[in-house]
Structure 1
Amino acid sequence: MELSAKGRNVIVTGGSQGLGLATAVAYAKAGANVAILARRPGPLEEARAQIAAVSSGKVSAVACDVASAADLERAHAEVVKAIGEVDILVNNAGKAQAFAFEGISDEVWQSDIDLKLFAAIRLTRLVWPGMKARRWGRVINVLNTFSKAPGAGTAPTSVTRAAGLALTKVLGTEGAPHNILVNALLVGLIESEQTHRFHQAHGADRPYDEFAAEMGRKIPMGRIGRAEEFASTALFLGSDAASYLTGTAINVDGGSCPVV
């Protein structure tokens, strides 16, 4: 089945690398106009060029700190000017922060909430009225499997992502009468900049491929995932093929999460 997003306007936050970039590329290949948001201008421009190379539509890259309400409003206005009103929003911005509870300061808690929860709330609030007026919209919240199955030492990420799961259900229910479909993708172990950083921190004495293969053996499918596999699922959720799917969360984890 070939999935199409032809003529749709898409925002991907955290779109300059990893899963966000792979998702933006997938949508561009499927015919969408794509805007990516990220903080660093250098990687952002490199990502824009990579997306433009496979795109037949408009491509925009806007430097933005999604943890800032004012910056999000500015970036949203720039995106609308560049590619038009947003049809599909992929809330992907975030970073892994997992510590023992006693050592987490108020500042770390607040920064995690601003980056992972409030960013999604604020940007969704900006695009929601237009989706509602057009009676068509898709919101995809990228979370992780800790939001369903948290463990010791996984805060603040697991707590913030669990709030994102609740937000997904609320929005899925409220958006359904207006054909705004809201779903979450829960990431397991997928190759990205984070896995490479983990390798440098915990296994730099071994080649990355050997380190990754060892991590993959702990997963039922026997390997870590690829960013392109995640992006294909994100593209499905934004397409008309997923027209009766809302308010749900899909594990993209090779079967490793103990909770369905």
Structure 2
Amino acid sequence: MKDRVAVITGGSKGIGFAVARQFAASGAKVAILARGAADLTAARELLAKDGLEVRDYVCDVSKAENIGNAHERIVADLGSVDILINNAGTARTMAFENISDEAWQEDLDLKLFAAIRFSRLVWPGMKARKWGRIINVLNTYAKRRRPPRRRPRSPARPAWR
């Protein structure tokens, strides 16, 4: 990944943070994006303690203008994007019949349209260089039932039964 430019939305926590760590450790130039400046700073500083460098960009990817501005800054700072990890968004667990149109629209803007818009911006460069990767990460737990609880195994009952 030496000198490849990797952009990770939702990169300040969880899966995005772990992905950023791996790309930075592999020699990529890494840009992490999130809405919270404090979370981005904390993530960057934590990675720096391990000798890893990332650039952080405050960006609400549910807004098209924010995506365009972030993309311009990243290209100016790091170069053309080689790898895009669309990872922004958290799971909101609620019953299907209770999800409002507003909540659906927020999810679509944050998870689907953000991925479409960012991918559309990086695609031409990837196509011209004949190399690039776009990876979409999505947690489906937000819209499904919780799994049933399992009873704890009895100490008298062997695990192989």
- Among 46, 60, 65, the residue aligned to 1:65: 60
TM-score (norm 1): 0.53
- Among 34, 40, 61, the residue aligned to 1:38: 34
Post-superposition offset of 1:54: 4.0
Alignment of 1:1-260 (within 5 A): 5-54=1-50, 59-144=54-139, 151-152=144-145
- Conserved 8 A contact 1:59-1:83: no
Secondary structure in 1 matching 2:30:
strand
Equivalent residue letter for 1:123:
F
- Conserved 8 A contact 1:31-1:55: no
Supply the distance in 1 between the matched residues of 2:13 and 2:116 (Cα, whole angstroms): 22
Secondary structure in 2 matching 1:12:
strand
Match of 1:229 in 2: none
Supply the distance in 2 between the matched residues of 1:79 and 1:32 (Cα, whole angstroms): 13
Supply the distance in 1 between the matched residues of 2:50 and 2:126 (Cα, whole angstroms): 27
Contiguous gaps of at least 5 residues in structure 2: 153-161
Q: What are the Cα deviations for residues 186-221 of structure 1, in whole angstroms up to 9, with x where unaligned?
A: xxxxxxxxxxxxxxxxxxxxxxxxxxxx98x8xxxx
Identify which of structures 1 and 2 has the higher relative contact order when contacts are C-alpha pairs closer than 8 Å and 6+ apart. Answer: 2
Secondary structure in 2 matching 1:133:
helix
The number of equivalent residue pairs is: 149
Secondary structure in 1 matching 2:138:
strand
Supply the distance in 2 between the matched residues of 1:119 and 1:91 (Cα, whole angstroms): 8
Superposition CA RMSD, Å: 2.2
TM-score (norm 2): 0.84
Identity %: 53
Secondary structure in 1 matching 2:67:
helix
Q: What are the Cα deviations for residues 81-136 of structure 1, in whole angstroms up to 9, with x where unaligned?
A: 11110000001101102322222111111001001100100000010000000000
- Conserved 8 A contact 2:30-2:54: yes
- Conserved 8 A contact 2:86-2:134: yes
Supply the distance in 1 between the matched residues of 2:117 and 2:48 (Cα, whole angstroms): 27
Contiguous gaps of at least 5 residues in structure 1: 154-213, 218-260
Secondary structure in 1 matching 2:62:
coil
Supply the distance in 1 between the matched residues of 2:14 and 2:33 (Cα, whole angstroms): 13
Post-superposition offset of 1:27: 0.5
Secondary structure in 2 matching 1:36:
strand
